[in-house]
Structures are given as structure tokens and as C-alpha cells.
Amino acid sequence: MDKYTTEKINQRFALLDQYERRCIIYFLQETETGHVSISDLVNHLQRQDQTPGERDKLAIALRHSHLPKLGTIDTFDFDPRSETVRYDGDELLEALLEPISETHSPSI
């Protein structure tokens, strides 16, 4: 990983510090198209957290916190008009996430 700057490594760690963002990345990695709707993300996160009554709060947190934060790297794109999220893969992010997925993999 010597080709990555300390800044890029720190940025990726900051993205992975929230459970919801890790779940989003896992979910997007498993999709065939690499893009999903906000509604699909909310449904997925609700299944992970078992909090069906919190749908609106979760959607707001996605739109105003988690997706903008993920959007700080070029491989994520959130389009608020179409309510979709696209992920093109990020080698460093996935390398840092890999050891976590072995011990804590959400059910997809």
C-alpha cells in the first residue's frame, strides 16, 4: 500500500468508522450494477439494525451525513434528483474493509 498517501489512508479510515457506511459499502459491492436507490439502502440498513420504526431518521442520516461523507471520494456518487447511489469500487477502501468483513459481515 505504499502507493497511497497518508491523507488518502486517513480519509478511508474516516469513512469506515461508522457501521452504516461499512454496511453501505458491503451492500454496494454485492450489487450487480454498482448502483442502488436510497430506498434499497434504507431497507438494507433496517434489516441490519432491526429498527423498522426508524425509516425516516435513517433516510435523513443517509442523505445528510453518510452519503455526502462517502461522496468525498471519487468512486461514490450520490444523485439526489434520482435518489440513487453509485459505487465504482475503491481498492484501498476495500483492502482496509476486508479484515473487518471477516469478523463482522452483515447479512445481505
> Domain residues of the chain, as ranges?
6-103
Banded model confidence at residue 108, pLDDT cuts 50, 70, 90: very low
What is the per-residue pLDDT for 32?
84
CATH number assigned to the domain covering 6-103: 1.10.10
Q: Could you give the C-alpha distances from 20 to 49, 69, 105, in angstroms and in order?
A: 9, 11, 12
Cα(79)–Cα(77) distance, integer angstroms: 6
User: Which pLDDT value is given to residue 51?
Assistant: 57
| 107 pLDDT above the threshold of 50 | no
pLDDT by residue (tens digit) across 87-106?
A: 999 999 999 988 776 445 44
| pLDDT per residue as tens digits for the range 18-61 | 988 998 998 998 888 878 999 999 998 888 775 556 888 889 99
Q: Which amino acid is at 60?
A: I
Q: Are 92 and 1 in contact (CB under 8 A)?
A: yes
